[in-house]
């Protein structure tokens, strides 16, 4: 799976108890916790300024099904008279549900392909093969040219090849 997540920090932040509105400076020292095993993030920004947003990718193949509460944690700074002032730790919670896909993970299932995916259970047509075959006579790719390869050839003898 690959998902794009967006962190949006509003320009104004309202204090829940006093109702006072502050100008958000940034949400920094960001880290993420609670990702399922096998899933990681790419390019989580160090900080997101108030009134802006940043994107990052959550990617990988989760190992175990279940519900995963994921927390993005960081330090919230507000702007008071032009100075950046630390207010508190702030956490944003997301949920990742890992469910078993019908037919299992898809990918390239041909062992001789360059991008063979051992975890894939059904082929999605993405296989890439090395164009230069050092042994084109080895039709079943077992490393030797034998009677099996000849039988494989005879089995399709006379068929018209697709373009």
CB nearer Ca ion, residue 25 or residue 149:
149
Using CB under 5 A, pick the residue from 140, 150, 151, 153 that binds Ca ion: 140
Report the distance separating Cα 158 and Cα 163, nearest Å.
15
**Binds Ca ion (CB under 5 A): choice among 114, 142, 150, 153:** 142
Give the binding range for Ca ion (CB under 5 A) out of 34-42, 94-102, 121-129, 131-139: 131-139
- 89 touching Ca ion, by CB under 5 A: no
Stretches 58-66, 126-134, 142-150, 153-161: which one binds Ca ion (CB under 5 A)? 142-150
Of 35-43, 49-57, 104-112, 130-138, which part binds Ca ion (CB under 5 A)?
Answer: 130-138
């Amino acid at each position: 799976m690959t998902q794009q997540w967006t962190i949006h920090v509003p320009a104004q932040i309202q204090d829940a108890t006093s109702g006072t509105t502050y100008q958000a400076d940034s949400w920094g020292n960001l880290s993420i916790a609670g990702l399922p095993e096998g899933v990681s993030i790419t390019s989580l920004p160090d900080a997101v300024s108030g009134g802006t947003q940043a994107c990052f990718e959550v990617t990988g193949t989760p190992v175990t099904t279940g519900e995963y509460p994921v927390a993005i944690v960081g330090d919230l700074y507000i702007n008071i008279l032009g100075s950046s002032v630390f207010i508190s730790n702030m956490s944003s919670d997301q949920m990742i549900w890992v469910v078993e896909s019908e037919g299992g993970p898809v990918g390239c299932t041909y062992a001789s392909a360059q991008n063979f995916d051992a975890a894939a259970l059904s082929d999605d047509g993405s296989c890439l093969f090395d164009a230069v075959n050092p042994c084109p006579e080895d039709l079943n790719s077992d490393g030797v040219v034998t009677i099996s390869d000849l039988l494989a050839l005879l089995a399709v003898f006379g068929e018209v090849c697709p373009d």
